[in-house]
């Protein structure tokens, strides 16, 4: 089935507001017509950059690129000039689809206007388009590591399709659903799952613009996507949370959901949230299921077609998670050495995340091997475990745990905490009562807020030094 077939597939929601983005509405047929009219102007381009604002223009531009078989490069609209310049140069984009946001200046790319209301004859335009091969690059998404410039992750059409179909099966996602979210459109979560997922499944899509509790409550969805920051704000607004009782499923991702937020959502909405795990390079590989058990701190089981394994496990069962399956990326753009280094000799992707797989197959992510595995006094300590313990304290709102150099221990456990009415010593004792004593923080530093990225994920490399 081609993408054009999917957009107007039998059973799909094609009401006049089948696709709504921050108040702008269109039908699926209208989106197809506008995207097709744009797509015929893109054929043959090496890549097309899209300023990924939360607008119907962005959705139209992305779909047009996919119809034309041109790799789409979503660019954060608030990206700084250095990051933006790197992405535009490195991606090889020749076109800029839509208007450059204020402050971008001259990008050096050919600007192509995007009109979500263009209504040409689809038939003749479609005749000028041909379905690209399954292994053709659909998206180039840039992801930052701990060092160096962001790397362009090449996601094929088949990888995107395989992941969306697997998630539709895991979450019982059908054309009868209305998906609601307000996530950025330059990441996997907001764009691939939150836009292309709804288009492929055939469900109605409501992008709220900003992901406020009030907008989520007013949207009337059956399926909601959010990051922990969003869900924390929803849980802090009982009226908005209560409005989600009529939903079918709440899904959280992009960062671990604190157990306290999980419990609050369950009490206020009647739903135990679905948590899932993935990376830009792998898309979503592990998830709790709509018909399965959902436990705080657990991200479920591998989705259809995906295999996982742990290597170099310690006595607590913690090991590095590696994955295989049809959802994996095809490589880093222009970086063959980095691509080769990210895979094992027998073809497994090294996620760099530390995990535990429980006897029933449920996965728990402990943290990043590079930043969240702390080696202290001969022990290996998962930062995520200590963070969850601290978040169980009623005074703690946010926390990030890292390992800091220590002359005797090698590393010491340091907790950066957003809290009121509690001392560092009290928090240290609190952790020591619930975890092994060697896992307690030795230093607690209080902050007004944690540095976070656009998806709400704490940025530990931006934490202030001790």
Mean pLDDT (whole number) for 244-256: 93
DSSP helix/strand/coil, 424: helix
Tell me the average pLDDT of the chain.
90
Q: Which residue ranges make up each domain of the chain? A: 3-207, 251-368, 373-462
Mean pLDDT (whole number) for 309-327: 92
pLDDT number for residue 146:
46
Instruction: Select from 3.90.380.10, 3.30.1330.10, 3.90.1200.10, 3.40.50.12780 the CATH code of 3-207.
Output: 3.40.50.12780
DSSP state of 247: -
pTM of the predicted protein model:
0.83
251-368: CATH superfamily: Luciferase; Domain 3 (2.30.38.10)
Question: Hey, which bits of 184-280 come out as E strands?
Answer: 204-207, 223-226, 249-252, 274-279
User: pLDDT (tens digit, 9 = 90+) per residue, 184-217?
Assistant: 999 999 999 999 999 999 999 999 999 999 999 9
What's the rounded Cα separation, in Å, for the pair 283 and 189? Answer: 9
- Is pLDDT at 264 greater than 90 in this prediction? yes
pLDDT above 70 as % of the chain: 93
* Higher pLDDT among residues 53 and 257, named by residue: 53
Helix%, strand%, coil% for the chain, nearest 5? 30, 25, 40
Local confidence band at 303 (pLDDT 50, 70, 90 cut-offs): very high
143-147, 293-297, 303-307: least confident range: 143-147
Local confidence band at 119 (pLDDT 50, 70, 90 cut-offs): confident
HEC string of 374-418 equals: EEECCEEEEHHHHHHHHHCCCCEEEEEEEEEEECCCEEEEEEEEE
Mean pLDDT (whole number) for 246-264: 91
Q: Are 399 and 417 in contact (CB under 8 A)?
A: yes
pLDDT number for residue 72:
98
What's the rounded Cα separation, in Å, for the pair 427 and 413? Answer: 13
pLDDT number for residue 147:
47
9-23, 72-86, 92-106, 138-152: least confident range: 138-152
Q: Is 390 left (phi over 0), alpha (psi -120 to 50) or beta?
A: alpha
What's the rounded Cα separation, in Å, for the pair 65 and 44? Answer: 11
User: pLDDT (tens digit, 9 = 90+) per residue, 347-373?
Assistant: 999 999 989 999 999 999 987 766 677
Q: Are 152 and 91 in contact (CB under 8 A)?
A: yes
CA–CA distances in Å: residue 19 to residues 42, 161, 259, 315, 420: 23, 20, 33, 50, 42
Which tokens is 319 given?
Answer: 């090991």
DSSP state of 196: I
User: pLDDT (tens digit, 9 = 90+) per residue, 58-77?
Assistant: 999 999 999 999 999 999 88
What's the rounded Cα separation, in Å, for the pair 451 and 461? Answer: 9
CB neighbour class for 268 (10 Å; exposed up to 12, middle 13-18, buried from 19): buried
User: What's the CATH class of domain 373-462?
Assistant: alpha beta
What's the rounded Cα separation, in Å, for the pair 152 and 280? Answer: 10
């Amino acid at each position: 089935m081609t993408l054009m077939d999917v957009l107007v597939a039998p059973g799909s929601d094609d009401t006049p507001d089948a696709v709504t983005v921050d108040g702008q509405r269109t039908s699926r047929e209208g989106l197809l017509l506008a995207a097709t009219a744009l797509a015929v102007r893109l054929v043959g381009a090496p890549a097309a950059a899209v300023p990924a604002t939360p607008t119907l223009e962005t959705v139209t531009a992305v779909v047009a690129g996919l119809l034309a078989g041109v790799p789409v490069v979503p660019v954060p609209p608030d990206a700084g000039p250095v990051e933006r310049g790197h992405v535009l140069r490195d991606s090889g984009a020749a076109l800029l689809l839509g208007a450059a946001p204020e402050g971008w200046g001259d990008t050096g790319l050919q600007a192509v206007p995007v009109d979500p209301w263009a209504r040409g004859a689809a038939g003749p335009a479609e005749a000028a388009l041909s379905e690209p091969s399954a292994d053709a690059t659909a998206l180039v998404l840039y992801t930052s590591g701990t060092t160096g410039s962001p790397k362009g992750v090449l996601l094929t059409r088949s990888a995107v399709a395989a992941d969306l179909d697997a998630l539709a099966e895991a979450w019982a996602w059908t054309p009868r659903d209305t998906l609601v979210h307000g996530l950025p459109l330059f990441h996997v979560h907001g764009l691939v799952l939150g836009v292309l997922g709804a288009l492929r499944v055939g469900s109605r899509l409501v992008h709220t613009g900003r992901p406020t509790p009030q907008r989520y409550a007013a949207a009337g969805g059956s399926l909601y996507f959010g990051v922990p920051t969003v869900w924390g704000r929803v849980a802090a607004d009982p009226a908005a949370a209560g409005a989600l009782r009529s939903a079918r499923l709440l899904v959280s991702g992009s960062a671990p959901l604190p157990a306290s937020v999980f419990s609050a959502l369950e009490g206020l909405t009647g739903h135990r949230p679905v948590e899932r795990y993935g990376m830009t390079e792998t898309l979503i590989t592990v998830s709790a299921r709509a018909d399965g058990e959902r436990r705080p701190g657990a991200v479920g089981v591998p989705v259809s077609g995906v295999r996982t394994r742990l290597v170099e496990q310690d006595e607590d069962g913690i090991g590095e998670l590696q994955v295989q399956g049809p959802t994996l990326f095809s490589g880093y753009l222009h970086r063959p050495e980095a691509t080769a280094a990210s895979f094992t000799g027998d073809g497994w992707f090294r996620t760099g995340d530390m995990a535990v797989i429980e006897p029933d197959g449920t996965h728990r992510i402990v943290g990043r091997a590079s930043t969240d595995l702390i080696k202290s006094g001969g022990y290996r300590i998962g930062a995520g475990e200590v963070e969850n313990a601290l978040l169980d304290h009623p005074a703690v709102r946010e926390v990030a745990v890292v390992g800091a150099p220590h002359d005797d221990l090698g590393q010491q456990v340091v907790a950066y905490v957003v809290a009121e009415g509690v001392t560092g010593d009290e928090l240290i004792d609190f952790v020591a009562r619930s975890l092994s004593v060697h896992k307690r923080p030795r230093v607690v530093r209080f902050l007004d807020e944690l540095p976070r990225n656009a998806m709400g994920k704490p940025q530990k490399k931006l934490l202030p030094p001790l």
